[in-house]
Structure 1
Amino acid sequence: MTRRRYELTEYEWSVIQPLLPNKPRGVPRVDDRRVLNGILWRFRTGSPWAEIPERYGPPTTCYNRFLRWRKAGVWDRLLEEVSKAYDGDIVMIGSTCVRVHQHGATKKKGDLEDGGMGRSRGGLTSKIHALVDAEGRPVTLRLTGGQVHDSLEAEALIENIGEGDILLADKGYDSNAIRALAAEKKAWANIPPRSNRKGSFAFSSWVYRQRNLVERFFNSIKQFRGIATRYDKDPLNFLAAVKLVALRIWCQP
């Protein structure tokens, strides 16, 4: 059978397979690669789980595997493991908004706070916050409502930056708190000052050019319709999907 372009390549599978749970209990589970391809198909097309093609096995198997592994932290661990090799010399932070589809707009009972959704000029939206390295590979991902200001998530994003790192961010992150936090970690915040900023700060426009890598990352994950538009009511499920799709960026040879 010909491999579809959204399915895992041999190289991607060679990276992911050793990191998957390897101690199944009871009946042996359905082939992991086939199920993962089914999950990716769902997020690539933005289709309902029930419409996953038969070649990937029963749709309920794909959904249950995705949900069970999300609750077990498998998707988190996969991204954490591959991102340990990130290039920390230059890191950059940014965010992007995604529209919440009407099917995902009803908050599930028990969801924390706003369910990662917020009202803005564009309607009901969610915002994906990311820190990426000098190769445009994701290191940290977070989800909030679309109305949340970027700077409020900056502290969590740059928690693990190291000494000597260069932090790139746009004017939305220009605050004394963010600059102080970077300095505390002995990193340099190369952030363009806002027009009404008092005082002067060292800023390199040449280094800042690389900040477009975070925008490229967002463009890459939004090729998946299930990421570009949020269909999932549960914010944890949607963030897990973002991490799964982002994982593939680390698996490029």
Structure 2
Amino acid sequence: MARRRYELTDGEWVIIGPLLPNKPRGVPRVDDRRVLNGILWRFRTGSPWAEIPERYGPSTTCYNRFVRWRKAGVWDRLLAAVSAAFAGEIVMIDSSCVRVHQHGATGKKGELGDRGMGRSRGGLTSKIHALVDADGRPVALRLTGGQVHDSQEAEALLETVPEGATLLGDKGYDSNAIREAAARKNVWANIPARSNRRQRFAFSGWVYRQRNLVERFFNRIKHFRGIATRYDKCPENYLAAVKLICARIWCAG
């Protein structure tokens, strides 16, 4: 039988398996790999949790395990562990909007900002802010409403950049605050200046061409329909799913 595209390969499981909680209490829990494959199936297809095929076990088990481990910080630790090899000589920053499905948009009025949703030209959207390495692998992630400007999340992402690195970003990141934050870490902000800038900065167009890797990263995670469109009301659940997919990207090399 051909391996299903949404299931973990043996190589990926060798890396991920030992990083999951390994001391269950009480009744032994359902096989981790099977449940994780069910979680990945849900986000790959964008289907409701209840439609997860029986071969992955009860859908409630998949959902409850995903949420419980999110609350316990398992997905955060998983991404941190697999990305520990990050060198950081060159890093790239960018963001991408995703449409919020009507199932994820329901809730009380005035709560959109609290749930990482906002009104933009594309309607109700969320925005994923990412910092990736020279191979297009994710290092840091943030989630906001789609109307939030890219530069507002840049300084938080810069906290993970090692000293002496080169930062690539488009004109949306050309601000004094970002350049000063980069300079404090001895990071070269190779960012093209906006046309209305009087001051000019050192800029290498040849190095800047590598920035397409961050755009490829967004294209890659959006192969998962549950990421390309946000169905989750809870922002923590949606961001946790993005981190799980990112961990798999690191395992794939």
The TM-score bracket by the shorter chain reads: over 0.9
Tell me the CA shift for residue 31 of structure 1: 0.3
List aligned pairs for 1:225-240, cutoff 5 A: 225-240=225-240
**Closer, same or farther: CA 167–235 of 1 in aligned 2, 3 Å:** same
* C-alpha RMSD over aligned residues: 1.5
List aligned pairs for 1:75-224, cutoff 5 A: 75-107=75-107, 113-224=113-224
**Closer, same or farther: CA 108–58 of 1 in aligned 2, 3 Å:** farther
Tell me the CA shift for residue 106 of structure 1: 1.4
Number of aligned residue pairs: 253
Tell me the equivalent position of 2:59. Answer: 59
Alpha-carbon distance in 1 for matches of 2:3, 2:212: 31
CA distances 1:126-180 after superposition (whole Å, capped 9, x unpaired): 0000000011100001100000000000001111212210000000000011001
Given that 1:107 and 1:115 are in contact with CA atoms closer than 8 Å, whether structure 2 keeps it comes out as no
Tell me the equivalent position of 1:12. Answer: 12
Alpha-carbon distance in 2 for matches of 1:65, 1:111: 26
Q: Could you tell me the TM-score, scaled by structure 1's length?
A: 0.97
Alpha-carbon distance in 2 for matches of 1:135, 1:190: 17
Alpha-carbon distance in 2 for matches of 1:15, 1:168: 30
Given that 2:140 and 2:160 are in contact with CA atoms closer than 8 Å, whether structure 1 keeps it comes out as no
Given that 1:98 and 1:127 are in contact with CA atoms closer than 8 Å, whether structure 2 keeps it comes out as yes
Given that 1:120 and 1:146 are in contact with CA atoms closer than 8 Å, whether structure 2 keeps it comes out as yes
Given that 2:113 and 2:145 are in contact with CA atoms closer than 8 Å, whether structure 1 keeps it comes out as no
Q: Which runs of 5+ in 1 are unaligned?
A: none
**Closer, same or farther: CA 118–232 of 1 in aligned 2, 3 Å:** same
Alpha-carbon distance in 1 for matches of 2:210, 2:83: 19
Q: Could you tell me the TM-score, scaled by structure 2's length?
A: 0.97
Identity over aligned pairs, percent: 80
User: What residue identity is the alignment partner of 2:212?
Assistant: N
Q: Are 2:73 and 1:73 aligned? A: yes
**Closer, same or farther: CA 109–50 of 1 in aligned 2, 3 Å:** farther
Given that 1:125 and 1:145 are in contact with CA atoms closer than 8 Å, whether structure 2 keeps it comes out as yes
Tell me the CA shift for residue 113 of structure 1: 4.2
Q: Which runs of 5+ in 2 are unaligned?
A: none
